[in-house]
Structure 1
Amino acid sequence: MNSSMSVCGLRRGGRLIFLLALSASLGLHAQTLGGAAGTSATTALSPPVAVPLAPSPGPTGATSPGGSATTIPLLSPAPLSSAKLNGPVVARSAGDASGEVPADTSGGARSTARDVTPLAVTEFQRFVAETTGRTLPLYGYDLFSGPDFQSLKNVPVSADYVLGPGDEVQLKLWGSIDGDMRLMVDRNGQISIPRVGTVNVAGVRASQLESVLKGQISRVYNSFQLSATLGQLRSIQVFVVGQARRPGAYTVSSLSTLIGALFESGGPAANGSMRSIQLKRDGRTVSTIDLYKFINEGDKSADARLLPGDVIVIPPAGPRVALTGALDTPAIYELASPEEPLGKVLSYGGGTLSLTTPHKVLVERIDPTRSRAPRQVEERALDAKGLQSAVRDGDVVTLFKISPEFANAVTLRGNVAAPLRYPYKPGMRVSDLIPEREALIAPDYYVRRNMLVQFESGRRVSDSRVQNEVKNLLEEINWDYAVVERLDRGQVRSQLIPFNLGRAVIEKDPASNIELLPGDVVTVFGVSDLPVPVEKRTQYVRLGGEVQTPGVYQLTAGETLEQVIHRAGGFTHNAFPYGTVFTRESTRLQQQKNLDLAVRRMEADVNSQAIEAVQSAGTREKTDFLQANLATQRTIITKLQSLRASGRIALELDPKTNILPPVVLEDGDQITVPNIPSFIGVFGAVQAETSFLHRFNFSVRDYLERAGPTRDADLDNVALIRADGSVESGQSISRGWFASWSGDVLDKRLNPGDSIFVPEKFDKRSAYARFIEGAKDWTSIFYQFGLGAAGLKVLRN
């Protein structure tokens, strides 16, 4: 703004306008305090704005000569400095001649950011904890333990709000006069409007503000419109005293109420009352609020608007009782009077539950008139009389759950379609609870059966898959044994009453079809829950290879291998019964267990030898030799650990007669009959590991001559692995862990499908030689564990 414009402002608006324009042109600033810490913010005065005014009427209604427009310097919204403020900054009006600093709304005596002070534990809480074993909270105090309370800011002002010093009025004018002003109410309760003068607004309600201002401005101007709203509101100081969590002086918004100030101060302390908090003004009680009504009913009728200098008094807590047991809100409650009805106290926490028994409630009471044993226990009921009975200070009320007993229920569980509780009817028997066989089919049977055809694209259907699915599809019922569990109330003990399920459900035999009583539990077992005799189980075997009709067959009790093969149509003309592979799951598990035990023993022996080698170490050459030897031993053990038992049982058939032994089959047995082989396998320490055509007059020696043993071949321990799963070795060993067969294996004649294994020699100088001498005959190991030629190949490689 140049100086000529300032002079113009002096001529048209008087001295006050000139001073304002001059201040703006010189860049002067007004300072406002921002927060209790004295942080300042800068408010810049805007240059004067030319505002056309209507002709000013004189005292007699005449207009000013020429009717020219008048320039009024206005205060634009003040930009805040970049400094961080502790509270809001209020810009003063240019017409505020009082020089009053705006009221501090940052919190003043105390910060509005709430640090949640934990409640102390009261003596009554400790007493209840010692009595009940539970630490109960004080009811309602967690209301003040939530997030920080935000003071009222930028909220609509109610119509009955009364203006006072420190409030800001935002005045907008248009028509014959244009203007946008922010005017601060000074300590005299006035605002100053340029060319209009001061207007007393203290005590004016917000709903009356526009009419008051319009009346004053119309004395100078006409043909205009205005809008008057409240901007930044004043702050007031109140005091929170007594048993408050954080007592002290608080600077709050002029819109604050009693409840808002309680949130600011953190509410009552542990020993403070929630039932009779008082608001005092000028030495008299203005309002008394019961926070229980506010919490439970949302009743704010006792909440009052605060005025400067108000005092909030939180008195000590009144009588307290403890509620514990079967209710949703166990806590310590404060009474509004020395005694209250039990029902009313229960209502504070939401009342009783449907799970609370109405027949019994215990009240532990302190009788101070008794010098010895002042504590007593009373038993009441939650009926009309009991709910009206009084509780008083120090009472501990315990509520109980209803009994879990069913009055008319019989329970069915176990291997059934619907394990549930069923209603009891007089004369009810087992057959009434299980009326048909379908009640014993578990629902997951149908789920598994339906899944058999799910996602079948590209999936082969094999006999082994069918066998597994058939075995696992349905859990079979134990028809011979089921039990009724019954409570003997006379002896206070449980009874087990067994009965035959088949006779009860199918035959309706009165001896087994037991009459039931309320509370009985009927349990149905499956054949896997309690092992049943073999003939009562459904068993399946898998038969494959060179038989007329391979497949999965259901066994009858005591059925043998020969009978099952006969049922399958017998052998084909290409069958090789001598090489029949017969495996059994129970045998496989036992073989694997024995193999793991043998390997652990070998490993322990090797570790023991390693310790001896370290302790007796000599020259470097000897030490290197021992280390290499131990490494070889551990390699062999590692290979043994990778082997898995097959579960094969050697049938030891006579290759000339092929008479099958009378082996009784078990569930899960697998029989595979190969076709007639034409080769003899030779592998191990030979020049050519290969298969040779079987020749009836050839011995082991003949095949070895054709294979060509290597220089390290140990011909004294040649193993002959027969096609029927048996193994013959070339040396008799009577010591060590295992025993083998005697005889010169090199002269043995071979049958089709037999294999020859030639091991390598071990260094006799090593400490491992004793181990080899005791367990080198791997043939006995592989025979006992059903590993066969495949296992020897793993060891060889």
Structure 2
Amino acid sequence: MIRPYLKTLLVTLALIAAQHASALTLTPEQQRQLDALPESQRQQLMQQYQQAKRSQGGANETSGQSQQQVPQEGKQPGVVPLGDRVQVAPQTSGSGASQPGRSEQGEDKEEKEEKTAEQILKEEYRKWRAASGLGSDDLLPFGYEMFAGEPTSFVASSDAPVPVGYRVGPGDEIRVLLTGRENQDLSLTVSRSGTIEIPQVGPVNVHGKTLEELRSYLQGLIRERFIGVESFVSLGELRSISVFLTGESRNPGVYSVSAFSTLSHALSVSGGIKISGSLRNIRLIRNGETVSHFDLYDLMLAGDRGADLQLESGDVIFIPAASQRVSVSGAVVRPAVYELGQKNTLEQAIKLAGGLRAEADPSKIQISRLRPDSKRTLLDLNFANSKNQQLVNGDTLRIGKIHDRLRGSVEVRGASPISGTYQWQRGMRLSRLLNNRDDHLNDDADLDFGVIVSRTGENFDVSLRRFTPRDVIAQSGTQADPILKERDSVLLFKDGESRQGMLEPVLGAFRQGLNIDELPALVSVAGAVRHPGTYPLLENHSINDMIHFAGGVARGNNSLVSADLEFGMLIRRQGELGRVPQAIRYNPGNALNNPNSSDNLPVQEMDRILVFSRTENRGNLLEPLLEELRQNLLPGQQPTVVSITGAVRHPGSYPLLPGTTVRDLLAYAGGLTNASYQLEAELIRQRLTAQRAESELVKLELQNPDHQSLTLQPTDRIHIKQIPDLNLQQTVTLEGEVNFPGTYTIRRGETLAQVIERAGGLTEFAYAKGAVFTRERLREQEQQRLNEAQRRLRRDLAISGPQSPGEVDTVEGDDETVIRVLDQVADAQAVGRLVIDLPELLAGNTARDVRLQDGDTLTIPEISQAVSVMGEVQFATSHLHDATLSIRDYINRSGGLAFQADEQRIYVIKADGSVTVPNQSRWFGRTNPVEPGDTIVVPLNLSQLSSIELAKDVSQIIYQVALGAAAVRSFRD
């Protein structure tokens, strides 16, 4: 059951199919309804549409043939050259072929590329704006696109009104409608003799009559011959005429056009004019005489069709070559290449280009002219007194622009919702723009810092003023509310973000226009500040100002100051071109808290202010300075650098300031740590002689004021000793079957037996022989060896294949063996187990005792009754210990050896971690008893990898490490 609106949609599709078999056109509402249908119903409707389309195919094709519409590139549909008409083959009505046109895929693509009117206008406007910057080489000749290609706006003769003065001739169709006593609709064609045949009247001569004359004549004639009959006379299909297009036409030839076509129609039919052709002197030749000179510029620029005459059969349209052209570029409405007419003046050329734009400068007009001697000259003209300047062929005319600079304005940029440009008035203050926190500043705006950038003087030199947005709002009209100058830029920063982005244009202005011996007015602030970077130097600025410029000192996560407020350094450039650095010490705390103190030093061009952190290394900030101090030294000269190592907060190298003492260097390094040994320190001093460098050791007592006041010399190095064993906390862990397991703090030199005794000894369930002792240092060493063995194994496996054609691979069978070895390599991890004999150790054998290290772990398992079998057996598992069973018996209980087992390398990992290899001749016998907790390992047979002897050793290492770790886990479980 089809719903009502679907019926409506189906009827609509059928009607559209009947009227337009070559295209489907739906209204937006119909398209929405069609898209909302299920897929099956939508397909059904489309099939019905296609059927209707095929049923109308024959009629459409016949209609198309009758009108002779054969679209071709560059030719008008419906009006084609005579040579093309005779080649048109009729199509059968039953073919079902659609008319030439866009494919469905092409229609979809065009729909996707459709643009709104606003987008089209914006694109055209951008192109229009960009055209003012085009050079003469980028311009195209004007007007040739008007008829180029296949036109779409030309109207066929059957749809157009008959022009005034059109005279009837042979081939025209005259429609006569009779009403009254007789009702007839007559279609009468004018014969070659100029007559029409009216029934019951006979031949009537109508040749040369206009439509009005024809209508009056025929109505009078019918009124006389027929009583009670009224007639209505009109023209039907009109005759076609043949015209010739010659010269610089894109498609010269003979064309069949409607009888009332004009010159412009014929140009459209032919696809336009070549770029080499003239648009201003198109000639219409009739009976050997030129009857019209057609200037297309009159039609395109003024809409004048006075010379666009109606054509007659046999007319010749001749398009000569263009001879006089000039290029007009710059600030004109239509930059292009124009053809000169009778008036070849500067004023006429600018008029052809649409006139001057608003930004055009009439006083800056240039004409580039090629002289006969092949030299090009340049003429600078003022339009006011050069309107009648004559132009010649090949001239290049360019209209200059005025300097578009906005005056009488100020600008607000940055963290403000009112960012933009505003009118400036003399005496206006910043509070005129910023007077409300909520309305004029963003939520994340920095309320403590802002900058006003001014451009003053004839050269618009850049200067800066600092202000506080908070004070501007709270104290409007006071000194805190600065007066703005014309073209000022007010910069508002975001709190917590770098300020370099907004300041970069200002910094660039400070770097420009400098003499070779001048330094830019810039200062760098580095280290523990909120926004490190380079900032412009303002007048009378000091360290305090520059640190505030950088957002103030940095704070940690707990909002506490993380900067060192006791020690800071100012690096100043001196000497020729600022090549000599000088370090100056200052106290950041005093500079910030007391701007009038001596620590708040005035800054100069290219100064570098260092604010050190209380916790971070200071070497990164000082390294560039130290590197400069070490360079460009004279013979026998030492760098002015001193170093301090040992128990200080920030050991490293520091610049040697004049008069620096031991006490000063300790302050540079952040002071002594709590582990410093103050009774004695060492000073290594080096002197250069003419022959060699000599070193001197000076003993220092840090508690002695005289030693602290010792003045340092270049390259001095101080070492602060550390109190032995201070804060030395070493621990070991006891796990498993001890009476008091846990982590114990040990003294240096303490042994395992002593710690076990502190832990209350072993429990009654402890299996001392299976104890596992691990050491972190051993684990790291084992892991390094294992990693190296893994790399070597992978390398040898990679190169073990055949090296030349016909060589047999050393690896027999499939690749499963290699894959298994590589998997074992990837999974192996070192344990760091140290094999100990705990029963002997507990029995008092001091030779078996272990001196403990930090991080050692001892695991005492419970008494074990299991024997494990692992490796290349049918079923790896654990068995209850039986003293009567041999190694062979345990392997047989695990299903026996696997296919790739290496029975010559079977070994046993004892419960204490040691590895034993059974007697090779009698390993199946009872000479190698198996004890509780032992693990029998059957390794992989790698004999097929005969060229890789290393693989066997690595495989054993992997098995031993992996099984050792498994044994530790089993004990802990």
TM-score by length of 2: 0.41
TM-score by length of 1: 0.49
Higher relative contact order by CA 8 Å / sep ≥ 6: 1 or 2? 1
